[in-house]
A and B are shown apart, each in its own frame.
Chain A
Amino acid sequence: AQSVSQHNHHVILSEAASLELGCNYSYGGTVNLFWYVQYPGQHLQLLLKYFSGDPLVKGIKGFEAEFIKSKFSFNLRKPSVQWSDTAEYFCAVKGNYGGATNKLIFGTGTLLAVQP
């Protein structure tokens, strides 16, 4: 069965610090990978996604993620965080079965607090 592991449950950074949030998945086939973000009081929204091609994916608000197939990883990065990046971040994976459904498996989330 597929699973997603996010190593850090809580991360506290100062503004301008660099960010890397870990995400590992377990699935042997072709995967589609996603990072979602949930700002306080708001709905989950897509940050970025990977499905093929360049393993370095750029998303909104200066975020990027790198798919490393050999490590089953899809870590999220940002070179310099801002206070407004305070949010909960979820990694998600979908196995590419070619089926009709769009079922995602989510990690447990990482709460990021950025101190001004």
Chain B
Amino acid sequence: DVKVTQSSRYLVKRTGEKVFLECVQDMDHENMFWYRQDPGLGLRLIYFSYDVKMKEKGDIPEGYSVSREKKERFSLILESASTNQTSMYLCASGETGGRGNQPQHFGDGTRLSIL
């Protein structure tokens, strides 16, 4: 079974802090993704990475950055946390190719509160 592990289930930080969310997958997947999940808005893609050191902006990248130094690890960084970044953050990984029919595999999520 694919395992996507997010470092924290719950996190509380203060406005202006730099926040790191870590994600590790154990299936050698090329693609990794960061989403945020908000009630009534579903999942929105923040950033994704299709290879080590490669990244692309998703739909809502403002206020975030990412790092992928190793294939199995994908980090989301909130440069200066703000209260509107309070949300559930989901990491996912997936394979490449096969006409795109591979599903993504999700972690348990990190519920981040910015005070």
Which residues does A use to contact B, with CB under 8 Å?
A: 6, 9, 32, 34, 36, 42-46, 49, 51-52, 90, 94-104, 106-109
Please name the residue on chain B nearest to A34 by beta carbon. B103
Question: Do A102 and B106 have beta carbons less than 8 Å apart?
Answer: no
Find chain A residues with CB under 8 A from B103 CB.
34, 36, 46, 49
- C-beta contact mask, B72-114 vs A, less than 8 Å → 1, else 0? 0000000000000000001010111101111110111100000
Whether B34 is near chain A, meaning CB under 8 Å from some CB there, is no
Q: Which of B30, B31, B108 interacts with A43 by CB under 8 Å?
A: B108
List 4 other contacts, CB 8 Å, given A34-B103, A100-B50: A9-B40, A44-B92, A51-B100, A103-B45
8 Å CB contact of A103 from B48, B99, B107:
B48
Interface size of B as a range? 20 to 34
Residue in B4, B43, B48, B108 whose beta carbon sits within 8 Å of that of A90 in the complex: B43
List residues of chain B with CB under 8 Å of any chain A CB. 4, 30-31, 33, 35, 40-45, 48, 50, 56, 58, 90, 92, 94-97, 99-104, 106-109
Q: For the complex formed, measure the closest distance between the CB of B85 and the CB atoms of chain A, giving whole angstroms.
A: 19
Closest to A107 in B: B42
* Sample of 17 A–B contacts (CB below 8 Å): A32-B100, A42-B108, A44-B106, A46-B103, A49-B103, A51-B100, A95-B100, A96-B99, A97-B100, A98-B99, A98-B100, A100-B30, A100-B96, A101-B56, A104-B104, A106-B35, A108-B42
Closest residue of chain B to A95 (Cβ to Cβ) is B100
In the complex, which of the residues B96, B100, B104 has the most CB atoms of chain A within 10 Å of its own CB atom?
B100
Is there an interface contact between A43 and B109, defined as CB atoms closer than 8 Å? yes
Chain B residues, Cβ within 8 Å of A43: 4, 90, 106-109
Quick check: A101 and B42 within 8 Å, CB to CB? no
